[in-house]
Each structure stands twice: as C-alpha cells, then as structure tokens.
Chains A and B, each alone.
Chain A
C-alpha cells in the first residue's frame, strides 16, 4: 500500500472513489504514524486524544460508500482543536479547569462536516483556551514542530497544524482569534485559513474573544481549504453573528485564479522591524512572483497596523475575562472546594484550573474594563478598531490583496518566549489586524530556511473574499511557489 498519510483531501477522495484506498486504511495509517511518533524520543504531542472508535467510524463510512452513498467528504478523517465541541467527546481547551467535561452537543461546523461524511478522529493540543502563540501553555505539555523538534509549531492551534504536517490527519480545524491558525500553518508548511468573521458558525467553539474568534482550517492545499470551507460555511441560527454567506463552487476550478491585473498592497509596517533575513528574502521572492505574473505590487504605508498588537491585547483579554467567568466550578469541570465557602471555591478552583497565561489575560482584561480605566483602554481600543475597519475598507477599495509575511520569524525555540509575554505577543504582529477587522486571511507556504524551517506569507482581502484568496494561492503554486 502507498503512503497515503501526506495526501491532500482532494487526492484522498479520488483514490477512495477509484477503490484504491479505504477510509479505514487511512485512519489506520494515521494512527500508526501517531503511535510511531509517541514511541520516539521527542514525541510531537499533536493529539491529546485519538478516538478509539475512529476506525469503526471509517469502516462505517466505507460501507456507506459501498452502498452507493456520495457525499463531498465521505470518509475523510480530520483532527479537531480541543476547543471545538463534539457531542459525547471530552473537551478541555488544554485546561485543568475543564477536567472531566464531556460536551453534550456538537459545534455547528462539526455537524456540517460530519453531515458531509468527514470523520473527526481526534482532539489536538493547543495553548490553554487558545491563549498563546507557541502551543506551550497546555496542560498536556508543549507540542513540537515536526521540522525541528526543539522548536514550537506556533500557536495556539499547534496540535492541529502538526497533526496534518506529520501525516496524522487529512486536514484539521483550529481556531483563530489573532493568528492562531495562520501562525502554526506557516511554521509547519501548511495553508492556514482564517475565514471572514461570520463565515463559519462559532456555535460550539469555546469563546475566547467573541468579536474576533473564527474557526480556521489547516490544509495541505488551497483546494482542500476551499472544499472544506464550502461544506462548513453559511448562516447558522445558533450563532447570530454568522453570515448568510455560503461559498459556492466547492472545487478549486471554480475559484478565480490568475495573478495578472491583481492589485497587491505591501505595507511597510510589517517588513521593517525584526524580520528574519531568510523570511525577508522568501517574501521578496513572492513579491517578484506576483510581479512577473502581471500583478501590480505597491509598497504602501498603513500606520494603524502598528497599533494592532496593542488593540488586540486590550480587546481579546477584555472579552476573555468575561467569557471565562463561566468556568467557576459550579456546574461542570473541576471544582476545588476547600470548605471555606463560596468565594474560596471560586478563587481556588480558578487558581488551580487556569495556567499563568490565562490568568494574566483575565487580570489584564478586567483591568481594561474596570471603572476608572475603561475609557482610556477598552473604549479607546474600540474607537481605534473602528478607525482600522474604516481605513482597511478604504484600502480594499484600492487593492485586491494585502501581502505580508505571516510571521517575522520562522518557528522559534521551545521555551524561548514562554516567560516573556510581550515577546510572545509580538509573534502576532502581522496577523491580528485581520481578526480585528473581520477580514479573511490565508497563510501560504513559501519555502523554507536553509535549516529547513518552513516560511509562510499571508494574503488578506476584503470581507468574504476567500475565493479570491484561495484562487490566488493556487495560482502562486502554479507559478512555482
């Protein structure tokens, strides 16, 4: 049998259609890759659970196919970040505070993928409550980068990226609040899509920064990402912020492609400070690919982009401090009752249940919302965000795409930034603006450093321009990227 573990979804489907591969064989191969890795000296630690019954589900999918059933993703195994609810499965957000919790319901996106025949095979590691950029702040320990096991895969959806990069899933779901899918995708050589705000339902995704959160997709090709997006997208009555914006044309052929005539903006704000030289030269190569293919690339200045980190680290913690108040030990999850009354139950449960980064953000979030500070920080941030949306809307009137590196550096070392929150936050330099403005953004693999670390570039477009982003990514591939 061939090694099918690194195949994209589109190829898997055609092999299965041709009877050359079964879903059960594929799940077996992923499980074997996982078990082989677990036995290694430095396990990747991508999965926190690979479902015991994944093989049974795959066999059932094979049987349905034999019976003549045809569904867009029938039999395709995928991995799910451990902050997306699957009915009957544990859900921890890599936090001790959700110890013992099993979700009684499924996220809408999971329901849609499962209805299309896809098979969730396991839960992946992440930074606790998606707060982090390295996949180190986890109750399950750090996830390692398959290209260099002493480096992080990026975060917070590190486990989801590694599961795909290491041949343990056909694609995976992560979540995006400030770059949590794009960053690990770029560190692991994958396509990472942050859809437009509202494109995918958030119902069942554990909230971090509700006005920023979107479920994101890690895939081996732009075509895979397009297919998965088309199955999962569209209005959901369970999420009032979801948009009535389905993505027609599941197959890549239907996407707009061709780089000629595209107007591409390259903001100087992302390429100046601290950019790794190898990242810079990979980025310049992408610019010249665009230009050679007839796109008009213009270097612009967009000063507000420099404020996005501050903006993001006010708004996301503010919302998080409120979103995480429900983890109180009363109705589910961990409870530490020292017999000293209610207040102590709350504060001890939360002290033991949350890790240091989550605590930092809860405290900072409460700070920016508290009386006396709310105007200077939270309300000011909302006002700047309004400006950002306005200016970015103007920019996307003049340009089709905004192009930048996904991250100023390739994957950094495990432990390098874990005790320096501000340095960690700067990993999100190039990504947070898309979440703040609600626009879609895609990280595209763009080569590697001499030492073999993947490099990613990012394209962003106006609201609901995912087809353009994905088509452009496919066209760049055609140009030799």
Chain B
C-alpha cells in the first residue's frame, strides 16, 4: 500500500479530533504523508511470533506497600493565580461548556 493511503481522510479526521489538533490544509497533507510513512515502518512487527509473549507483571508491588492514607499539603491559592491568567474568583474559567461537546 502506498504510504499516502495508509491513513484515509476520515481516519485522519478522527485522529485529529482525538488529538485536539486543528491543522492548516498544508500541514494536514504533510502530516498525512509523513504519518503514513511512519506507520508503514511498523509492519515489520507483524512478522514476529508473539504467541508466547504474555505480559508477566513481574514488577508488581505488594498491596501493603502502597501510600498510607495520610493528608499532605495542597497548593496555596496564590500558586493557582500564578499558574493561570484565567483563574477567576477561585475557579479556572473556560469557555461555556455545552454538554456532550
């Protein structure tokens, strides 16, 4: 398959939506080609037999080693104001949220 066809326009639209990216037409077509090229390099993996490769979770930790439930410090409000110019009346202000958006 030519690399330019690895990603359909619909698929790219969906990915740009998931990525929350809005691209110029130029940037979009360049990305479509380059992403296609990159993806085509992944095909080599399909030839590797992984039927015997179940994750072993050998790095798992014991339940008893988890963080104790003890309250620690939170950030002071002035720190929030330094983070954002949109920290208004104690809240982070955002454009009006329309449910389901």
A and B held together in a complex: yes
- Say yes or no: B19 contacts A359, CB within 8 Å: yes
| Contact residues in A for B46 (Cβ distance below 8 Å) | 376, 380
| A337 contacts the other chain (CB 8 A) | yes
Q: Mark A297-335, 1 if CB is under 8 A from B, else 0.
A: 000000010110111011000000100010010111001
Which of A5-13, A169-177, A223-231, A363-371 lines the interface with chain B?
A363-371
Q: CA of A383 to CA of B51 in the docked complex: distance in angstroms?
A: 8
B21 touches A350 (CB 8 A): yes
Q: Which residues of B contact A254 (CB under 8 A)?
A: none
Find out whether the CB atom of B19 lies under 8 angstroms from the CB atom of A321: yes
CA gap between A309 and B41 in the complex, in Å: 9
Min CB–CB distance B64 → chain A (angstroms): 14
* A478 and B47 alpha carbons, distance in the complex (Å): 45
Residues on A with C-beta less than 8 A from B54 are 386
Q: Are A310 and B44 CB-contacts (below 8 A) given A366-B19, A386-B54, A387-B53?
A: yes
A422 CA to B38 CA, complexed, in Å: 6
Complex formed: what's the CA distance from A322 to B31 in Å? 19
* A436–chain B nearest beta-carbon distance, Å: 13
Task: Give the docked Cα–Cα distance between A341 and B22 (Å).
Answer: 14
How far does the Cβ of A26 sit from chain B's closest Cβ, in whole Å?
A: 32
Of B20, B35, B67, which one neighbours A346 at CB under 8 angstroms? B20
Q: A101 to B84, alpha carbons, bound, how many Å?
A: 8
The answer on a CB contact under 8 Å between A344 and B22 is yes
Residues B15 and A384 in contact, CB atoms below 8 Å apart: no
With a CB–CB cut-off of 8 A, which chain A residues contact B95? 337, 339, 341-342, 344-345
Q: Is B34 an interface residue (CB 8 A)?
A: yes
CB pair B83 A307 closer than 8 Å:
no
CB of A332 within 8 A of CB of B83, answer: yes
Which residues on the B side are within 8 Å of A345 (C-beta)? 94-95
| B35 and A342 within 8 A (CB) | no
| Residues 9-54 of B at the A interface (beta carbon under 8 Å) | 11-12, 14-16, 18-23, 27, 30-31, 34-35, 37-39, 41-42, 44-46, 48, 50, 52-54
CB pair A328–B53 under 8 Å, yes or no, is no
| Per-position binary interface string of chain A over residues 373-397, scored 1 when its CB falls under 8 Å from any chain B CB and 0 otherwise | 0001100111110110010000000
The 7 closest A-B pairs by CB, nearest first: A383-B50, A347-B22, A383-B53, A346-B20, A332-B83, A386-B53, A366-B18
19 contacts between A and B (CB under 8 A): A102-B82, A104-B79, A240-B61, A310-B42, A313-B41, A325-B20, A328-B20, A351-B21, A351-B23, A356-B27, A359-B27, A363-B15, A366-B18, A367-B39, A376-B46, A384-B48, A386-B50, A386-B56, A422-B41
Told that A367-B35, A368-B42, A387-B52 touch, could you supply 8 new A-B pairs with CB distance under 8 A? Answer: A348-B22, A359-B19, A363-B31, A364-B35, A366-B18, A366-B19, A384-B53, A422-B37
